[in-house]
Amino acid sequence: MGNSLSRWGMSAQRPGFKAYEPDPAQVKVWLRETWPEVQQEAKRRRAQVYFGDESTIRSDYHRGTTWGVRGDTPVVAKTGRRFSVNRLSAVSPKGHLRFMVSESRVTADVFIDFPRRLLHNAKGSIYWVVDGHRIHRAKKVQEFVRTSQGKLTLVWLPPYSPELNPDELVWHHVKSQRIGRTVVATKEQRVALARSVLHSLQHNTQMIKQFLYEEHVRYILNRCRVIFCRISKLKPENEGSKSDLDESETAKLVKQLEGMTYPYVKDICTYVKLNVGKVYSISGMTKWLHRNNFCYKGTSKNRLNDII
């Protein structure tokens, strides 16, 4: 049976898990009505939009692999003490990241401290998109929002739909690719590591923007006015330097471009660098786009509705 499954293109995999409680109708309302209204209202008020969340870093969380002698599993020494550190963060569609690391349990008072920091020296009001966690709906939080004199507005995501929040992707990267691959001995080291990793990511706006091109959160960018569209009649004269993408990588990138909006060539270069591991200049990627029959043009309303 194993051979048959392999011939059918199947393999043993660790499954992903998703809550079965979300209501597809509520998700559809969020994508087609609520989120566009938030965008328009924020633009009218010249407000900033942030997607926020909080999570915990446990001392016993580890990810990643390493090299070892075949048949001899490597053993990494770690502490047996149990401790955790909490993180609150917010990410904007423009690639801005704000965060706070707390050693204490996240309560309503701790949660309020984070939006208070967001509002400090803010040029305008803020729309903060969060899930319906009981802390987010606490009376103290609602009172803080009322006393902000309209500077802070909480927007609720559909229930049990964390995949719609890009801050989940930011945290997955920080936790799985950085913190989970480092061994620490004390809580102080864990706090210092979390702050260091988040500070590093905070200055990498291109990587943060790249998270927004993931399948479940790309709706955030689908109101862009321009997109790279493929047209069969385009036949450029100057092909430039040959692409170093192989056939499968080229097919993957073409599929990606046909299904998503990329308003800037540099965003495509970032996608190729992160997902394929090859570096393109803006001019080199522009030539690649022309060779593969892509041009830069405005989007239509029907296309945006199809994407959503």
Q: What is the pLDDT of residues 129-171, one digit of tens each?
A: 999 999 999 999 999 999 998 999 999 999 989 999 999 998 8
Q: Averaged over 24-35, what is the pLDDT?
A: 90
For position 235, what pLDDT does the model report?
Answer: 42
Q: Which residue has the tokens 């569209």?
A: 229
Q: Report which of residues 62 and 105 the model is more confident about.
A: 105
For position 240, what pLDDT does the model report?
Answer: 39
For position 130, what pLDDT does the model report?
Answer: 95
For position 284, what pLDDT does the model report?
Answer: 85
For position 288, what pLDDT does the model report?
Answer: 85
For position 234, what pLDDT does the model report?
Answer: 38
DSSP code string of the chain: -HHHHHHTT----PPP---S---HHHHHHIIIIIHHHHHHHHHHHT-EEEEEEEEEEETT---------TTS-----------EEEEEEEE-TTS-EEEEEESS---HHHHHHHHHHHHTT-SS-EEEEE---TTTT-HHHHHHHHHTTTSEEEEEPPTT-GGG-HHHHHHHIIIIIIGGGS--SSHHHHHHHHHHHHHHHHT-HHHHHHHTTSTTTGGGGTT-SEEEEE-TT---S---SPP---HHHHHHHHHHHHHS--SSHHHHHHHHHHHT-----HHHHHHHHHHTTEEEEEPPHHHHHHH-
For position 16, what pLDDT does the model report?
Answer: 66
> Is the per-residue pLDDT at 55 higher than 50?
yes
> Is the per-residue pLDDT at 50 higher than 90?
yes
Q: Averaged over 11-28, what is the pLDDT?
A: 77
What tokens does 227 get? Answer: 């997109």
Q: How confident is the model at residue 301 (pLDDT cuts 50, 70, 90)?
A: very low
Q: Averaged over 244-270, what is the pLDDT?
A: 82
With a pLDDT cut of 90, the percent of the chain lying above it is 27
Residue ranges and CATH numbers for the domains of the chain are 24-60+81-204 (3.30.420.10), 222-307 (no CATH)
For position 177, what pLDDT does the model report?
Answer: 76
For position 17, what pLDDT does the model report?
Answer: 66
> Is the per-residue pLDDT at 14 higher than 80?
no
For position 222, what pLDDT does the model report?
Answer: 63
For position 157, what pLDDT does the model report?
Answer: 94
Residue 195 burial (CB count, 10 A):
15
DSSP code string of 173-218: IIIIIIGGGS--SSHHHHHHHHHHHHHHHHT-HHHHHHHTTSTTTG
> Is the per-residue pLDDT at 51 higher than 60?
yes
Residues facing 87 on adjacent strands: 55, 101
For position 48, what pLDDT does the model report?
Answer: 93
For position 225, what pLDDT does the model report?
Answer: 40
Q: Report which of residues 260 and 27 the model is more confident about.
A: 27
With a pLDDT cut of 70, the percent of the chain lying above it is 87
Q: Report which of residues 176 and 85 the model is more confident about.
A: 85
